[in-house]
Structure 1
Amino acid sequence: MNKIKHTAITAGALMLTLVPTVGSTGSLSGYAADTPPIYYYGGGNRLVSDEWEATISGFYGEYADLHEYKGNKENVVIPEYFEEMKVRECDIVWSDHPFVKSVTYPDVEFYSYYIADSNVEDLYLPYVTDASEICFEGNEKLKIIGFADSVNTLEFTSDAFKDCTALEKVNMPTEYKRVKVGSYAFSNTNLSEVDYDKPSVIGRSAFANCRSLKSVKLNNSEVDSRAFSDCNALEEISFSGSIALSDLSIYNCPELENIDLTDAEVTSDASFDNCPKLMNINSKPAFDSKTGDFVPEYKEFIFEHFASSDNVGFVDQYVTAQVRKVVAENITDDMTDVEKVRALHDWICRNTEYDPGDETSRKNHNDASVFMNETTVCEGYARILNLLCHDAGIETCFVQNGIHSWNIVKLGCHYFHIDTTWDDIDSSSISYDWFMRSDAEMKKAGGAHASWKICKPTSLHSFQSNVTPVCEYSMGDMNTDGEVGVSDLVKMSRYLLGKESISEDDLPLSDLDLSGNTDVFDMIKLRKVLVNSAE
């Protein structure tokens, strides 16, 4: 054993320098029998060896606290005993030792671990059960961390390994019974799998932006919002036992293909979103392209857990099939574009109810809301009309402002506003007060229609232009001068008498009764418009 220098420093003027012999029990011996014992209450006694620098601590000087590493090894094993005194604390800042790649702590309790900004790649912490004791955040070198197999409950507190971009593996204790992962605890790490076969609580964004994460297996877990978000490589999730998912627990995982629900009881709240390749449940297709519907064994589960989802593969397949079905049942080749849009407008109003009691719910703000919920709000109305019109060959776009959503469609060579929400009066009445309106008419109405901008709510609406169309003319503006007046009535009269022609592109402006033809009934309606405007 190397001798160590032992210096006792007190607040007074006296300073003793001793070279003691330390007994196996941690007590001091080798002094004269009549030498009074030295107590180390409060510490301050420096110990130095070839590898370590420490101070003695404890009421009787029975502990050694390590403060500095003086060696040059890449793989460092922290001793459980230093000069036969039990090591109780190690506050060495490993970033001061860039050559150290691996640190193994003994199976004893420590007060603190200083790993942040160091070059340590492999860390073994057998005693740790609560990662709040460790400072890891932002460490870009740490690759592997391990814990003693005997640990029963393991807790990773918020931000514990956040931005540890090289961290690729956490060796879980074989005997653990429960794990708790705090918010952002492993966000932006290089983990390739998460496999918790024991109960777990996973906090908000705990594994967000884990770019290499491919597989998640959870058993009896509570999963908070965005726990697995922006995991660009995630391909499969396996649930078993009781699984409680929160809002957007699984979000923006573009490569997710399958969820395994074997022996799982799932509760969720709008938990899946923006997973466009998710086509399978239990490794089987969830949608049947032959029937245009979900596979019967999964249909109830999907309606319960995915009715609020957007950009989910099998939900998008279902919406697309339902859109085609509605168009096929309501649109014929001999219809004019005005008739087509009116038929689709009417179908929505007949088959949808506004949901005034739950306006902010995610289930009312997605593409599937009309088909999977039968109630929705303005965004749901506008989204489905957008998809229906596009499938029917009508140019259309979705527009919104902070409080309302509706559509703009192109009929002939002119654009018009259509608001199915405000035209859906009740189950037995359909209005056309907000059907084929100009920009000027919308701005004059003000309120919820005072302003608008084009928006692509999901990938199903990718057909839209990025430019908001201009709805320049009102219905009845036959001469396209920007105003509806007597001259338009004269032009319609001359057209009906065969004395003047109207281009096919302008014909929608004359179809005021939305019948698909320009006839005397349109003239009567135009006269009423002029009389009402005069009043």
Structure 2
Amino acid sequence: MKMRNTAGKFKLVAFVFVMVAVIGSINLLTAYASTTLTSDDGLWSFTTDGELVQYLGNEAVITLPNKLKANGVSYNISKMQSGAIGWNDRTVEINIGANITGLGISAFPDLTSLQKINVSPENPKYCDINGILYNKEKTILLKYPQKNPTTVLELPDTFTYCRIGAIEKAENVIGLKIPASYTGKSRTDGDKLEPKFFPNLATIIVSPESPYFSSEAGVLYNRNKTELCWYPPKKISSSFTIPDSVKIIAMDAFKDAEYLRNLNLTSNIERISANFSGCKLTSINNITTREQYVNWDPSIKSVFQENLHYFEDQPFAISLVEQEVQYAVDNYIEEGMNDYEKLNALYSYVIEKVDYTSGDTWDDQYHCLSSVFLGDETVCEGYALAMSLLLDKVGIPNCVVWGRNLAVSSHAWNMVKISGVWLQIDATWDDEGDYAGQRYFLKTTSEYEKIGHPAPQSNINKNFTKYSFGVDKSIYNNNLPQCNIRIGDINKDRAVNEADKYCIRDEIQAYSRYSYLGYYNVLADVNLDGKIDMDDYNLLCDRIVLEDENILIGDLNQNGVLDEGDLVLMEREIEKFNTQQGYYNILADVLYDRVIDRYDYWLLRDLIYLPSFPVN
């Protein structure tokens, strides 16, 4: 019994001890939690545990303090938070004493006038070389002042990487010397040396002992020169030939290459990453004309074509596209053509020029306008963009639209304005291989929907105005044209009916009298042959009959059913068709092939005696 009481007392004492310890630790934490203060001189906010939070002054030269007073109490300073000094154009110099042993990850951000950072030689954690901040071992570059006067940046032999945001812009550097210690590997806590940091760089020199990189004529490569890593933007050379050993061109390797005008590719190149922004290439492999391009070595040309999207904004590519457009106009457009005939001819050109790709349809090379004019394969966006530029050239208003439905995840095509009416064309879906079909040619939105085509949802306005004749189509961004008047609806009452038969007679007369002056109305060109004549009248009459729900094809005695009496009358219709020139009765043309013959008779007989045979 005594042992149990003793054990109970021990447990109670232990519990009390633990609670006292916990409460004591809370009190200790509360007692020693840092507090943010403002220094008595008003220049700094800092914490009581000695960390600088923000510089509040406006001096051009800033010295990180050794001590600060607040409310008359002195505090030792040893650290600085990220961004404590930053985002101004006043600071030109920063002095760091031996007392500072902790700098936030993003030290001194966006100081656009900063020239140098001076570090005390006695500082155990940091140092500087020519006003550039490193860690003490000089393995990490911590901050490169944007206005540092260094023109040739010779990184120390121990350098391995830059801290994140260490180099924002080294605008005075024209020469870069890279030591053998630099690996160029990506890090979560650091940056690699990249072209964007050195806008005025003219040459790069790599230590011969580097196991990672090499340089030749001021250009940076990997060690065995299979990858071109960096072409300095201010390299003084108008032409450059990529070495035969190079298989890969790294991302932005040629970014802002100001003086480069000609680039010679080789057939050995296997991959080019996003590149050439800011360049002004006027030729590729010294090619400037369409004739030269057509006859270019296919093994090198294919490398270019696989990377068309990276070159599309270059002057030489713009010129080659314009030359190809001119070729299309010269060879497909004839003098005196009306807008329909021009449209139809250019539709044929695009479909004859390229094929829908059998490769990766998401590859950017197929989604650019150049894929049609300078390539061999494309996708819907390429067809549509190319058609748009061609129509700009001949003055036909147009735009590129995008849409989707349950069956089609994403698609692009065109809207065009002919005879004052907006209609749709789809060169992609009308590409029949060797010729252009007309199933998707000059249709309304409702007609498209009936055959499974998506409805237009948005405008695609690429930079057409970089071409001398390209038209800005941003006006359609929030106001897509309405395509709701179909061919045959000549009076535009949203129906093809008897009233249009009277209108088309006037159109036939007008066309016969004034077509030489360019008169043409696409709504009256029912058979879409570029002319308005009796063939259009006959076809319009057929459409009116075919679309009348109260009319049954084959019901020649018009009693509302197909029966043997219709077979008797069909015999007479066949005889009239064969003996009377120009005779035609659509009710007897059961096959609807503009011919009335025994095939219509046999089909009508099947429809009568085989009731389950589909009528429509």
- Please state which band the TM-score falls in when normalised by the shorter chain: 0.5 to 0.7
The answer to whether 1:365 aligns with 2:367 is yes
Q: Is the 8 A contact 1:412 1:505 kept in 2?
A: no
Shift of 1:434: 1.4
Aligned residues: 430
Q: 2:378 matched to which residue of 1?
A: 376
Match of 1:491 among 489, 503, 522: 503
Q: Map of 1:4-403 to 2, 5 A cutoff?
A: 91=102, 101-103=116-118, 112-113=125-126, 122-123=131-132, 125=134, 130-131=139-140, 134-136=141-143, 144=150, 151=157, 154-156=160-162, 159-162=164-167, 164-165=168-169, 168-169=172-173, 172-173=176-177, 176=180, 179-180=183-184, 182=186, 189=197, 191-193=199-201, 195-198=203-206, 217-220=219-222, 222=227, 240=243, 242=246, 244-245=248-249, 253=256, 257-258=260-261, 266-269=269-272, 271-272=274-275, 277-281=280-284, 285-288=286-289, 300=301, 303=304, 306-309=307-310, 310-355=312-357, 357-401=359-403, 403=410
Point out the structure with the larger strand share.
Answer: 1
Q: 1:62 matched to which residue of 2?
A: none
The answer to whether 1:513 aligns with 2:521 is no
Q: Is the 8 A contact 2:174 2:203 kept in 1?
A: no
Q: 2:493 matched to which residue of 1?
A: 481
Which segment drifts farther, 263-272 or 457-466?
A: 263-272
| Secondary structure of the corresponding residue to residue 399 of structure 2 | strand
Match of 1:415 among 412, 422, 431: 422
Measure the CA separation in 2 of the matches of 1:411 and 1:254: 44
Q: Is the 8 A contact 1:275 1:313 kept in 2?
A: no
Match of 1:452 among 458, 469, 489: 458
Q: Which amino acid aligns with 2:204?
A: Y
Q: Which amino acid aligns with 2:261?
A: N
- Report % sequence identity: 19
Q: Which amino acid aligns with 1:123?
A: I
Q: Which amino acid aligns with 1:479?
A: N
Measure the CA separation in 1 of the matches of 2:364 and 2:297: 25
Measure the CA separation in 1 of the matches of 2:454 and 2:212: 43
| Secondary structure of the corresponding residue to residue 409 of structure 1 | strand
Q: Which amino acid aligns with 1:168?
A: N
Task: Flag the 1:176–1:307 CA change in 2: closer, same or farther, 3 A.
Answer: same
CA distances 1:194-227 after superposition (whole Å, capped 9, x unpaired): 633447989xxxxxxxxxxxx9832337578xx9
Shift of 1:104: 6.2
Which segment drifts farther, 308-317 or 449-458?
A: 449-458
Measure the CA separation in 2 of the matches of 1:502 and 1:472: 27
Match of 1:525 among 533, 539, 554: 539
Measure the CA separation in 1 of the matches of 2:381 and 2:331: 24
The structure with the larger Rg is 2
Q: 2:42 matched to which residue of 1?
A: none
Q: Is the 8 A contact 1:492 1:523 kept in 2?
A: yes
Measure the CA separation in 2 of the matches of 1:149 and 1:452: 52
Task: Flag the 1:420–1:129 CA change in 2: closer, same or farther, 3 A.
Answer: farther
Measure the CA separation in 2 of the matches of 1:219 and 1:495: 70
Task: Flag the 1:349–1:243 CA change in 2: closer, same or farther, 3 A.
Answer: closer
Q: 1:467 matched to which residue of 2?
A: 475
Shift of 1:396: 2.7
Task: Flag the 1:171–1:330 CA change in 2: closer, same or farther, 3 A.
Answer: closer
Measure the CA separation in 2 of the matches of 1:263 and 1:475: 52
Task: Flag the 1:422–1:280 CA change in 2: closer, same or farther, 3 A.
Answer: closer
CA distances 1:3-51 after superposition (whole Å, capped 9, x unpaired): xxxxxxxxxxxxxxxxxxxxxxxxxxxxxxxxxxxxxxxxxxxxxxxx9
Q: Is the 8 A contact 1:278 1:313 kept in 2?
A: yes
CA RMSD of aligned residues (A): 5.1
Task: Flag the 1:292–1:244 CA change in 2: closer, same or farther, 3 A.
Answer: closer
Q: Is the 8 A contact 1:167 1:190 kept in 2?
A: yes
Q: Is the 8 A contact 1:201 1:223 kept in 2?
A: no
Q: Is the 8 A contact 1:270 1:308 kept in 2?
A: no
Task: Flag the 1:180–1:195 CA change in 2: closer, same or farther, 3 A.
Answer: farther
| Secondary structure of the corresponding residue to residue 399 of structure 1 | strand
Shift of 1:399: 2.3
Task: Flag the 1:168–1:278 CA change in 2: closer, same or farther, 3 A.
Answer: same
Q: Which amino acid aligns with 1:451?
A: Q
Measure the CA separation in 2 of the matches of 1:530 and 1:234: 72
Q: Is the 8 A contact 2:94 2:117 kept in 1?
A: yes
Q: Is the 8 A contact 2:289 2:323 kept in 1?
A: no
Q: TM-score, normalised by structure 2?
A: 0.56
Long gaps (5+) in structure 1: 1-50, 54-65, 69-73, 80-86, 203-214
Measure the CA separation in 1 of the matches of 2:211 and 2:493: 68
Indicate the structure whose relative CO is greater, using CA pairs within 8 Å and at least 6 residues apart: 1
Q: Is the 8 A contact 1:352 1:370 kept in 2?
A: yes
Task: Flag the 1:111–1:261 CA change in 2: closer, same or farther, 3 A.
Answer: farther
Q: Is the 8 A contact 1:478 1:491 kept in 2?
A: yes
Measure the CA separation in 2 of the matches of 1:369 and 1:99: 47
Shift of 1:173: 4.5
Q: Is the 8 A contact 2:351 2:434 kept in 1?
A: no
| Secondary structure of the corresponding residue to residue 486 of structure 2 | coil
